[in-house]
Amino acid sequence: MFYIDYLLLAHVQESVITEFIRKLDREYATHDPLTVTRGQLHEYLGQSMDFSYKEQCAMTQYDFIKKLWLELPEALKRPYKCTPAPENLFKISLNSPELSAQRKGQYHRITAKILWLSQRTRPDTQLATGFHCTRVKKPTKENWKKLRQLLGYIWKTRFLPLIIGMDDSGNVVIYVDGAHAVHSDGKGHSGLFVTMGTGAMINASKKLRVDTVSSTEPEVVSTGERFPKCTWFRYFRGAQGSALKEGILMQDNQSCILLQKNYPFFIPMERVVIIFMFGIFLW
pLDDT digits 0-9 by tens, 217-239: 888 888 888 888 888 888 888 87
Residue 166 three-state SS: strand
Asked if residue 2 has pLDDT above 70, the reply is no
Tell me which residue of 41, 68, 189, 203 sits closest to 122, measured CA to CA. 203
Q: Would you place residue 209 in the very low, low, confident or very high pLDDT band (cuts 50, 70, 90)? A: confident
More confident site: 48 or 267: 48
Task: Look over the chain and give the mean of its residue pLDDT values, rounded to a whole number.
Answer: 85
pLDDT for 35 equals 81
Q: By CB neighbour count within 10 A (0-12 exposed, 13-18 middle, 19+ buried), where does 173 fall? A: middle
pLDDT digits 0-9 by tens, 142-159: 999 999 999 999 999 999
pLDDT for 106 equals 94
pLDDT for 236 equals 84
Domain span(s) for CATH 3.30.420 in the chain = 167-282
pTM, two decimals, is: 0.78
CB 151 within 8 A of CB 69: yes
pLDDT for 278 equals 53
- Which stretch, 107-111, 164-168, 259-263, 274-278, has highest mean pLDDT? 107-111
pLDDT for 145 equals 93
Residue 223 three-state SS: helix
CATH code: domain 167-282 is 3.30.420
Q: In whole angstroms, what is the distance from residue 242 CA to residue 199 CA? A: 19
pLDDT digits 0-9 by tens, 91-119: 888 899 999 999 999 999 999 999 999 98
pLDDT for 135 equals 92
Q: What percent of the chain has pLDDT over 90?
A: 35
Instruction: Name the residue type at position 122.
Output: R
pLDDT digits 0-9 by tens, 28-53: 777 778 888 888 888 877 889 998 88
Cα→Cα distances 133→2, 130, 269, Å: 32, 5, 34
Q: Would you place residue 272 in the very low, low, confident or very high pLDDT band (cuts 50, 70, 90)? A: very low
pLDDT digits 0-9 by tens, 51-92: 888 889 999 999 999 999 999 998 888 877 789 999 999 888
